[in-house]
Amino acid sequence: MEFTPINEIEKIHTELRSGFYSGKLRSIAYRKYQVLQLGYLFQDNAERIDAALTADLGRPSVENYLLEIVSCIGEAKKVYQSVDKWSKPEKPAFTFNFFAMRPVIRKEPKGGRPDHQPIQLSIMAYNRSSLRSPRCWNRYQALKNATAVSSLLTELMPKYLDRDLWDYILYSGSGRAGKIVSLAAAKHLTPITLELGAKSPVVVDPSCDLETAAPPDYILVPKDFQDTLANALKAAYDKFFPDTAKLSTSGAYSRLITPQAFSRVNKLLEGTKGTIVFGGEVDETTKYIQPTVVKDVQADDSLMSEEIFGPLLPIVPVKDIDEAITFINSRCDHPLALYLFATKLSKPRYLITLRVVPRLRMSVPFIPLWKVYPLVE
């Protein structure tokens, strides 16, 4: 994959600003045309996009279409139908101090660039941010890790989409890299939003329905219910992936995107002092790590040191819900989401919400702030 030479960036930036100041993007009709073009990009090139995603992630085609291609086409349709409403200025509520100035709210949304769903979360963030307001047009920045996807999008996007203003940064990733991006943005006073990684917990109450699933980073569960949960997870894994479907060779399961990503996640697994319930198989050649559940994980374990972003699920035993809340609030990071699994609780849900929600950070519209599956008060 070819990267943009540093000495060309200033020229590109000047061209983008010039395109914006031409005024053509102020037209709602033109922005809606761009939305349609984005939809056609996916519809016309679905097979090539599927092949690129498989090359980068080792992901099965059914997941590529479900998670990225079909959802992007549907999202483009939704945005097309909503651009007029989203772009319309709003008048704020009356206040004596400012009514004489006739204030107006003009919306300035933002986009994003994650790697774990390189098309869905990159292009659709571009879609929503760019097409609601003409001041938010961005130049798509290639994904350095998803090389096949990046190369394909670099080829296709100029054929389908116009390119204009590049004047906003939204970074999604680690805190370490977030500091570097912030420093670079500060030098030019470029507006920036950071969506930094954090470990999102699941709190499991013994009353929960173990049939339900969630995408967590770790699980907090009462100690005397830990084995019951671990056995239920093992049974679900065996049902989804029987011995006849060996994941390391069958092509039925995604791989880590780079050797560096594999090495990082593998080190977390190698350093754990917990007990592996199932999984643990790795293959450095293919960047494969088997879905792995580890129980008896403590707060200072390697699996709790950072956001995992891999197929490892630590189970942290606690005394009860109160200790689970204390555990969450004692950590220095701010989780993006909290998932509570219970059918009945010893205390009202709103008390738990008030004690934990102030710690949550919601930075992107794709991640729910609070979920309960299911809860009967």
For the segment 251-287, what is each residue's pLDDT rounded down to a tens digit?
778 888 889 999 999 999 999 999 999 999 999 998 9
Q: Which residues contact 136 (CB under 8 A, 6 or more apart)?
A: 108, 109, 110, 111, 129, 130, 165, 168
Q: Is residue 156 domain-shared with residue 219, that is, in the same domain?
A: no
Q: Give the position of tokens 């007029």.
A: 84
Q: Look at residue 363 and tell me whether its pLDDT is greater than 50.
A: no
Q: Which residues contact 259 (CB under 8 A, 6 or more apart)?
A: 284, 287
Q: Is residue 66 domain-shared with residue 157, that is, in the same domain?
A: yes
pLDDT given for residue 133 in this prediction? 40
Q: Is residue 151 domain-shared with residue 260, that is, in the same domain?
A: no
Three-class DSSP category at 370: strand
Q: Is residue 208 domain-shared with residue 311, that is, in the same domain?
A: yes
For the chain, how many structural domains are there in total?
2
Structural domain contains residue 107: yes
CATH number for 309: 3.40.309.10
Single-letter code of the amino acid located at 192? I
Single-letter code of the amino acid located at 173? G
Of the residues 141, 165, 189, which one is the last residue of a structural domain?
165
Instruction: Calculate helix-pair angle for 28-44, 120-132, nearest 10 degrees.
Output: 160
Q: Is residue 221 domain-shared with residue 294, that is, in the same domain?
A: yes
Distance of CA 241 to the CA centre of its chain: 25
Three-class DSSP category at 18: helix
Residue 283's alpha-carbon distances to 164, 248, 290, in angstroms, are: 43, 8, 9
Structure tokens at 173: 């990733």
Q: Which residue has the higher pLDDT, 21 or 60?
A: 60
Q: Is residue 238 domain-shared with residue 366, that is, in the same domain?
A: yes
Three-class DSSP category at 266: helix
pLDDT given for residue 245 in this prediction? 54
Three-class DSSP category at 275: strand
pLDDT given for residue 297 in this prediction? 97
Q: Give tens-digit pLDDT for 119-147.
A: 555 555 555 444 444 333 333 444 567 78
DSSP for 121-189?
HHHHHHHHHHHH-GGG--PPPP-SS-HHHHHHHHHHHHHH--------EEEEE-HHHHHHHHHHHHHHT
Q: Is residue 236 domain-shared with residue 152, that is, in the same domain?
A: no
Cβ contact 76:36 at 8 Å: yes
Which domain does 69 fall in, by range? 6-165
Cβ contact 255:276 at 8 Å: no
Distance of CA 81 to the CA centre of its chain: 24
Whole-angstrom Cα distance, residue 308 to residue 218?
A: 9
Q: Which residue has the higher pLDDT, 73 or 339?
A: 73
Structural domain contains residue 187: no
Q: Is residue 76 domain-shared with residue 28, that is, in the same domain?
A: yes
Mean pLDDT within 16-40: 77
Q: Is residue 94 domain-shared with residue 44, that is, in the same domain?
A: yes
Q: Give tens-digit pLDDT for 279-338.
A: 999 999 989 999 999 999 999 999 999 888 899 999 999 998 888 888 888 876 667 677
pLDDT given for residue 359 in this prediction? 47
Structure confidence at residue 368 as a pLDDT band (50, 70, 90):
very low
Structural domain contains residue 193: no
pLDDT given for residue 177 in this prediction? 80
Q: Give tens-digit pLDDT for 192-212.
A: 877 776 788 888 878 776 654
pLDDT given for residue 229 in this prediction? 93
**Cross-strand pairs, 370:** 338
Q: Is residue 113 domain-shared with residue 217, that is, in the same domain?
A: no
pLDDT given for residue 164 in this prediction? 60
Whole-angstrom Cα distance, residue 256 to residue 263?
A: 9
Q: Is residue 148 domain-shared with residue 211, that is, in the same domain?
A: no
Structure tokens at 326: 């204390």
Structure tokens at 302: 């390697």
CATH number for 30: 3.40.605.10
Average confidence score pLDDT of the chain: 76
pLDDT given for residue 141 in this prediction? 44
